[in-house]
Amino acid sequence: MPKTLRIVPLCSIHDPVRTHRNITYRLVPGTAVRARKLASTAGACRYVWNTVLADQQGLYLSARAAGAEPPSVSFFTLGKAYTQLRRVTPWLQELPFAPIRYTLKYQADAWQRLFRGQGARPRFKARRGDDRVTFPGGSFRIEGDVVRLARIGPMRLRRRGGNPYPDGVPKQVAVKRVGKRWHAVVCYEVEVGERPDDGRALGIDMNVGQVTTSDGAILRQPVSSMLMARHRRQQRVAARRRKGSRRRLRMVRRAARTARKLAMRRRNWQHQMSRRLADRAATLVVEDLRVRGMTASARGTVEQPGTNVQQKAGLNRSILHTGWGDLRRMLEYKAATVVAVHPAYSSQTCHACGHVSAASRPCQAQFKCVSCGHTAHADVNAARNILALGTGATGRRGALALATPQTRQPVSEAA
Ligand SMILES: [Zn+2]
């Protein structure tokens, strides 16, 4: 039977608020010298991360072996370790101070998560060419389409459509290497306008490769089988080549480029879908993804994916599966209100009578209630249950069960 339900209002923007927006630009170093400095700075971040981590891990392990409390780890204490390291490392002194120090902020955060029991131990960074470096406020300046990075120099920012937030205040710049290119993700503090409540709400069910709404729309994520086949082939070829060889590295890079292309397409689709959903209703009800993993088997999505993906299960599934978190984040800033509900049993509950039974799902696509005979598209039925949970939550927060009919909105059957 339905367990306790979690209802989390994720966001609500009915008044103007100040918030943050990340915009990705191509970063054009312009000269080989600047490109080299950028690469050394990113490399230095990795060096400092690994050196400080090795020390911290030693302290951590010896404390644990002695049965003592692990040492306190904060950005401040790690920052001090960096200052000492920099003093005895001449080549670090030629590189910008703040961005390299800032990498330890992420390490301190990782340690804090570990101590709270929310994450694994921070790991060493391998040299893979995907280095990144964050320039915190004060270590960069943006004028028009030029960003001036401390100790590196001025560089062009390129983006189709330019800066969508010309009034935004740039707070930090994250620079990362993507293949042979550099990207700069600028975080702006922006004022987001009021988004009026139009009284409409939409339930959203996210399944393998598709998004289904409570009003019956099915938005399928397009899959380029050609690109996926190419990716598989490149990985296969790379695996056959001798480890450490140039030819293998070349193929690994080609495979990475294909993977980026697939990711870009997925992202583009997610942006378009989230925009469409946000425009349809002010309130969007989604599944709480933090409990998604626990309920995945009950929903029969991971163990029994749709028949259309069964043949190419492995890779397809992983590609289709990733990104629901991204889609939801996009909804959170595009829609006026996003509510997350516990998705347990939303796919096994009859929307008409509230009966819960796994037997009501004769197949992946169909819902046929074993109690009242109500039939519907399985995902549409689930989306309606999700909507009912979310809209009931606004009036009677936390105190409703999935099988309480009166909390449900009357929705006519759209076949
Ligand atoms: Zn029923």
Domain ranges, ordered by start, for the chain: 7-15+197-223+263-407, 17-192
Identified catalytic residue from 15, 279, 379, 413: 379
CA of 350 to the centre of ligand 1 (A): 5
- Residue 301 is predicted with a pLDDT of 43
Quick one: average pLDDT of 177-201? 90
- Residue 321 is predicted with a pLDDT of 55
User: Which residues are CB-neighbours of 242 under 8 A, at least 6 positions away?
Assistant: 248
Does the pLDDT at position 95 exceed 70? yes
Quick one: average pLDDT of 271-284? 93
> Catalytic residue at 205?
yes
* pLDDT, the chain, mean: 84
Provide the pairing of β-strand 132-135 with 201-207: unpaired
Topology at the third CATH level for domain 7-15+197-223+263-407: Nucleotidyltransferase; domain 5 (3.30.420)
- Residue 344 is predicted with a pLDDT of 79
Find the largest Cα–Cα distance for the chain. Answer: 77
Q: Return the minimum-mean-pLDDT range out of 207-216, 218-227, 285-294, 382-391.
A: 285-294
- Residue 363 is predicted with a pLDDT of 84
Joined tokens for residue 377: 């598209």
Quick one: average pLDDT of 34-52? 95
CA of 305 to the centre of ligand 1 (A): 24
Give the sign of the dihedral formed by CA 400, CA 401, CA 407, CA 408.
positive
- Residue 397 is predicted with a pLDDT of 33
Identified catalytic residue from 69, 167, 205, 303: 205
- Residue 322 is predicted with a pLDDT of 59
CA of 217 to the centre of ligand 1 (A): 21
- Residue 2 is predicted with a pLDDT of 45
Percent of the chain with pLDDT over 90: 60
CA of 289 to the centre of ligand 1 (A): 26
Q: In whole angstroms, what is the distance from residue 383 CA to residue 346 CA?
A: 8
> Catalytic residue at 197?
no
Identified catalytic residue from 287, 326, 332, 413: 287
In the block, which residue shows the tokens 């003093």? 87
CA of 338 to the centre of ligand 1 (A): 28
Tens digits of residue pLDDT in 118-133: 888 899 998 877 788 9
- pLDDT band, very low/low/confident/very high, at 241 (cuts 50, 70, 90): very high
Does the pLDDT at position 105 exceed 60? yes
By CB neighbour count within 10 A (0-12 exposed, 13-18 middle, 19+ buried), where does 255 fall? buried
Quick one: average pLDDT of 164-173? 95
CA of 210 to the centre of ligand 1 (A): 25
Residue 107 main-chain phi, psi, to 5 deg: -70, -40
CA of 352 to the centre of ligand 1 (A): 5
**Crossing angle between the packed helical segments 97-115 and 75-87, to the nearest 10 degrees:** 140
